[in-house]
Amino acid sequence: MNGDVHELQLAIVIALFLLVSGLGFAASRWRKAESLENLDEWGLGGRKFGGWITWFLLGGDIYTAYTFVAVPALVFGLGAIGFFAVPYTIIVYPLVLLAAIRMWSVAYRHGFVTPADFVRGRHGSSALALAIALTGIVATMPYIALQLVGIEAVVKTIGVSGDLPIILAFAVLAAYTYSSGLRAPALIAFVKDTLIYIVVIVAVIVIPIQLGGFDDIFAAAGEKFSTDEVPNDGLVLTDAATVGYSSLAFGSALALFLYPHTMTGVLAARSRNTIKRNMVALPAYTLMLGLLALLGYMAIAAGVAPIGEDPNTIVPVLFDDQFPDWFAGIAFGAIVIGALVPAAIMAIAAANLFSRNIYKEYLNRDATPEQEARVARITSIGVKAGALLVVLSLDPQFSIDLQLIGGVIILQTLPALLLGLWHTFAHRWALLAGWAAGLLAGLLMVYDTPNVATGKEHFGGAQYALSNFGFDTEVTLYTGIIALSVNLIIVVVGSFVLRAMGAPAGEDVTRSEDFEVEAGDPNVRPLPGTPGQEEAATT
Amino acid sequence: MDRDRSHRAWYWLLLVPLVGLLVPPIYNHADPELFGLPFFYWYQLAWVPISVAVTALVYRKTREPEE
């Protein structure tokens, strides 16, 4: 089947792409604001997305094309371990509900657009804010690059070669993100999720029937795992892998809240209640993701062989084998659009960080809201070009390695961001020291992790063997959690010491009631037209 | 502002899904199967509706009046 171009599939994917591109450009007129020339409008869609839009936006943000492609690929290769995405995306909502509504309130009250804005206002440290902003940008970039890997998997399956399709897709994406800001992915997310839901529902009904039911599917998968040589694979976890499994689920859930693009989706909501309702409704996507993960086993039962050793192609190839061309085309369109939505939100989040916390803070302190928005728009193009360059010029494995590190390093912003929502006990200098130590520890551990299966000596995964610390065990732990522990210990001890020494604390512009305000509360001013730190500082 | 405070006890319920899912020995086995799915898979998927129910309950009990 491979070798020649599947024309019908290609035509459908192009048609869907053109449809969403039109929507992307039209989005600038959707719920039109007086002007898009400030970050509240361009970068947060005016902070007025209601329940449904927020649901689609956050769904598009969290459940990316890469997830749809990589999670089944992981299940295909390793079995039960790949299912960690399910507990991860269930516990994240109850876990971060309180933090998300507090962050929304304080950001609404003070006009914060980025996580680093909050850190600056709360801890009174521009150095710490810069650290948080840079961490966010660095962690987000490979995530954008990975969305391209998702598109690439589809393009390969359709049979088109060369880099031109990806370059074109990203150029169009960059253009409408530039012109419409966050409204573009919000509007496109409707199409994306409708398509994805249809595809998943059809896939989990039709494919198991064609393959003889789940009994046969799991039997085939069990057979594969028991005969191959891959360590730690299987239909259930090996005993040594259980701690790694739950620590990865827990760490990933914490990290998700800290990623700038998730924060962007949260801050764009209209009210606290909008966010709470979404924490109830978002797990619907998790059910879908869990069913999608099982496609990995269906691919085993169907005898799917990945194209060119790239395991990320197994879902597209499975669709190609099991569906008629027209429906496979729709499924591929869904994956491509599913890559564009999060890529746009991530680029906007990174651009907001650059504009607010680097350009305005260090390059042009007197920047007007118009200048802030313009810089963010241009940065969003730069961010996409950078991601494109990384994917085209380097081995895709490099992006995957970077993404692994991204989760580990974004977790190091937890003390400043998450704890900062409740306490100011942590001293700004201790937070900075903890961040640096956590980063260093995390990077060293990831570097020191070999991958036996692929024969790589370094950057072989984000599971660190506890035997490295001298324990006589095969147990591994998610590297991000270990690094975070180092970070937290330094924050706590350092804060005690610094306070005992009388080191000056940063100025906190927030008050405790700011964390509980709801939209429309009396005495909460309407949205500031020109949000900015100098304004927050005088509040 | 005692809006969060008066309902605070309800928020403890949010820990329930964490306990159910972060202790793999509870569910790390193949039997009993359901519709051909080993226990490991359907148990974790079953936590989607349970977690939704818990979060929805907390939402209702801590809801702020809509303006």
* pLDDT surpasses 60 at A104: yes
Query: pLDDT at position A412, please?
Result: 94
In a domain, residue B27? The reply is yes
Query: pLDDT at position A304, please?
Result: 83
In a domain, residue B67? The reply is no
Contacts of A283 in chain B (CB under 8 A): 48, 51-52, 55
Instruction: Judge whether A86 is closer than 8 Å to chain B, CB to CB.
Output: yes
Report, as an integer, the average pLDDT of A414-423.
89
Collapse the DSSP code of A451 into the 3-class scheme (helix H, G, I; strand E, B; otherwise coil) and give the result.
Answer: strand
Query: pLDDT at position A523, please?
Result: 63
Instruction: Judge whether B42 is closer than 8 Å to chain A, CB to CB.
Output: no
Gyration radius from chain A CA atoms: 23
Q: Which two tokens stand for residue A97?
A: 């509900």
A522: left (phi over 0), alpha (psi -120 to 50) or beta: beta
Confidence class for position A305, pLDDT limits 50, 70, 90: confident
Distance from CA of B61 to the nearest CA of A (A): 11
Report, as an integer, the average pLDDT of A473-477.
82
pLDDT digit string, tens, across residues A146-186: 888 888 888 888 888 778 888 888 888 888 888 888 888 88
In a domain, residue B55? The reply is yes
Query: pLDDT at position A534, please?
Result: 38
Report, as an integer, the average pLDDT of A252-275.
90
Contacts of A93 in chain B (CB under 8 A): 51, 55
Collapse the DSSP code of A268 into the 3-class scheme (helix H, G, I; strand E, B; otherwise coil) and give the result.
Answer: coil
Share above pLDDT 90 across residues of chain A, in percent, rounded to a whole number: 16
Minimal Cβ distance to B55: which of A97, A245, A273: A97
Which of B16, B45, B62 best tests the A interface by mutation, with the highest count of A CBs <10 A?
A: B45
* pLDDT surpasses 90 at A32: no
pLDDT digit string, tens, across residues A320-378: 888 888 888 888 888 888 888 898 899 999 999 998 888 888 888 888 888 888 888 88
Q: How many structural domains compose chain A? A: 1
A409: left (phi over 0), alpha (psi -120 to 50) or beta: alpha
Give residue A376's domain range.
Answer: 7-30+38-395+404-515
Query: pLDDT at position A533, please?
Result: 37
Respond yes or no on whether the N-terminal peptide bond of residue A531 is cis (omega within 30° of 0).
no
Residues A451, A401 contacting (CB under 8 angstroms): no
Collapse the DSSP code of A456 into the 3-class scheme (helix H, G, I; strand E, B; otherwise coil) and give the result.
Answer: strand
* pLDDT surpasses 70 at A3: no
CATH code for the domain of A306: 1.20.1730.10
Distance CA A5, CA A27 (A): 33
Query: pLDDT at position A259, please?
Result: 93
* pLDDT surpasses 90 at A130: yes
Each of the 67 residues of chain B gets a pLDDT tens digit; together they read 445 555 678 888 888 889 888 888 888 888 888 888 889 999 999 999 999 999 888 888 877 655 4
Tell me how far CA of residue A208 lies from CA of A284, A292, A294, in angstroms. 21, 12, 10
Contacts of A521 in chain B (CB under 8 A): 67
Minimal Cβ distance to B29: which of A236, A277, A283: A236
Distance from CA of B57 to the nearest CA of A (A): 9
Instruction: Write phi, then psi, for A465 (nearest 5 degrees).
Output: -70, 130
Gyration radius from chain B CA atoms: 16
In chain B, the residue whose alpha carbon lies closest to the alpha carbon of A519 is B67
Please choose, from the candidates A10, A13, A45, the residue with its C-alpha nearest in 3D space to the C-alpha of residue A31. A45
In a domain, residue B35? The reply is yes
pLDDT digit string, tens, across residues A441-467: 998 888 887 776 667 777 777 788 877
In a domain, residue A535? The reply is no
pLDDT digit string, tens, across residues A37-83: 788 888 888 888 888 888 888 888 888 877 888 888 888 888 888 88
Distance from CA of A283 to the nearest CA of B (A): 6
- pLDDT mean across residues, chain A: 84
In chain A, the residue whose alpha carbon lies closest to the alpha carbon of B3 is A516
Contacts of B47 in chain A (CB under 8 A): 87, 90
Instruction: Judge whether A475 is closer than 8 Å to chain B, CB to CB.
Output: no
Close Cβ partners of B24 (under 8 Å, ≥ 6 residues apart): A237, A242, A243, A245, A246
Structure-token match 């400043």, residue found: A416
Residues A45, A265 contacting (CB under 8 angstroms): no
* pLDDT surpasses 80 at A136: yes
Q: How many structural domains compose chain B? A: 1
Which of A48, A71, A90 best tests the B interface by mutation, with the highest count of B CBs <10 A?
A: A90
In a domain, residue A531? The reply is no
Beta bridge partners of B37: B34
Cα atoms in the 13 Å half-sphere on the side-chain side of A119:
34
Which of B51, B60, B63 best tests the A interface by mutation, with the highest count of A CBs <10 A?
A: B51
* pLDDT surpasses 60 at A413: yes
Among A residues 505-524, those touching chain B with beta carbons less than 8 Å apart = 512-513, 516, 518-521
Close Cβ partners of A526 (under 8 Å, ≥ 6 residues apart): none
Least confident of A45-49, A122-126, A130-134, A176-180: A45-49
A464: left (phi over 0), alpha (psi -120 to 50) or beta: beta
In a domain, residue A1? The reply is no
Confidence class for position A440, pLDDT limits 50, 70, 90: very high
Residues A206, A54 contacting (CB under 8 angstroms): no
Give residue B12's domain range.
Answer: 5-62
In a domain, residue A97? The reply is yes
Report, as an integer, the average pLDDT of A246-260.
90
pLDDT digit string, tens, across residues A209-218: 888 888 888 8
* pLDDT surpasses 60 at A531: no
Contacts of A281 in chain B (CB under 8 A): 52
Q: In the 8-state DSSP scheme, what is residue A308? A: G
In chain B, the residue whose alpha carbon lies closest to the alpha carbon of A253 is B18
- pLDDT mean across residues, chain B: 81
Instruction: Judge whether B62 is closer than 8 Å to chain A, CB to CB.
Output: yes
In a domain, residue B20? The reply is yes
Number of Cβ atoms within 10 Å of the Cβ of A107: 23
